[in-house]
Structures are given as C-alpha cells and as structure tokens.
A = this chain, B = another copy of it.
C-alpha cells in the first residue's frame, strides 16, 4: 500500500499560528504520516508532498504509484493548479482512494468530485468536539471509542452542503451545541472517498491516537484492490457481443 499525505504546507511555511512548530514540528503532513505509520502494516509506504513541490508533488508518475492520497488544504486552495486537480480527479475516478481532511472541504478536488458548494458553519473558539460513531459495522469505525473526545477544536456545523454520503459513520457535537457529519464516505467512479473533519492548524488534533487510528482505518478502506487504474469509459458493444 502506497500512501501519499498531501498538505498545502502554507500555515507551516508562514508559521501561522506562531506556535504551529511546537505541536507540528514536521508539519501537519509529517504528523499525519507518522500516525499512519504507527497503525498501517509495516510494508505500507507513507510519503508526503506539498504545494511548493514541482507539480505540487502530484506528477503523473507519482499518482500512478499511489493507492491513497490524503489531502489537507486551507489557505491556498486557489493556488492548486487546475491541471493537477484534473489529474488527481481522473486517478480517483479510476480507483485511487482519497481522504479529504478538515478545511479541504473547500478544496478544488473535493468540490469538483461532489458538485456542491461544500459550505458549512464554523467558529474558532477551541471548543470541545465529541465524535460519535453511528455506523459501527463500517471498517472505518473499527476499534474507535464512542465518542472520541477532542479537547479543543474549531467548530464545523451544519448545514454541511454535501450530497447524501454513501455512509455516514461519525457525527460530531460541539460545546456550543452545533452538530456536524464529521465522517462520511462517497464513491465516485471506481474510487472511494472519505471525508473526516477533525484536524486543524491551531490544535494538535493529528497527534491524538484515536484520530490517527481513524485515518489509518480510512486509508485501509479506501485503498483499491490491486490491478489496473481504469477510468470508466464509453463503450459501443455490438448486439451479439455476448455470444
């Protein structure tokens, strides 16, 4: 299994917030990658890439050798090249797994795959978030406490403007009373997509064990079966093709 953690890396580069280097010394991508390495099988290869890399680190060659991409973005969605987004989209439709994290609800790739505004309510006051499992039979919920308690987190609230998900796995509540569908899956083409909202540049959420476990479960679930990456295509079979 070949996993690529993509992070725009802008908060880290700008040291904004100023103390981000304290809880994310290797960047959020570094923390996420380290968490995955703890929970995925030993032969899983976990690498990272950022916006500043050539082709944002998402060249055709890289994608052809990637099973699952995790995507974190916030301040620089607009700076992601449209051609790269299109390339990632084709790989997802052809079978590559995609995990969309937190503020990447507004990323080009997520909005393009979902077709909606992906808008939501938000408030950044460091509120407690409780993440409740509502589909315990789903592989992504395997071994996850009910609820996960996140001491301080940005609030994301409904209405979250997404299509009906294939599966609703987690619902969060916040100290202020809002709720959010915080763990949802989608299928687009042959690709499996998991959106998970906990995680932010201001709070060390990706250092939390249960969060790392959810992400590792998500990667395992989204990884395609071995085989060619094939975009669904038009065909024009003759009448008797089955004979």
Contact = CB atoms under 8 A, between A and B. Distances in A.
Interface in A214-237: 224-225, 231-237
B188 A179 contact: no
A137 B190 contact: yes
Nearest to A117: B232
Contact of A134 (B181, B238, B240): B181
Interface in A112-141: 112-117, 119-123, 125, 127-128, 130, 132-137, 139
Q: Taking chain A's interface residues, is the majority helix, strand, or loop, or is none over half, making it mixed?
A: loop
Contacts of A128: 177
Interface residues of A, number: 68
Interface in A187-229: 187-192, 224-225
B231 A132 contact: no
A147 B173 CA distance: 14
B142 A225 contact: yes
A45 to B, nearest CB: 22
A179 B177 contact: no
Given A123-B237, A134-B181, A137-B190, A115 B117 contact: no
Interface of A: 93, 95, 112-117, 119-123, 125, 127-128, 130, 132-137, 139, 142-143, 146-147, 149, 157-161, 163-164, 166-168, 171-173, 175-179, 181, 186-192, 224-225, 231-240, 242
Given A134-B158, A171-B171, 4 more contacts: A119-B233, A133-B158, A163-B188, A178-B237
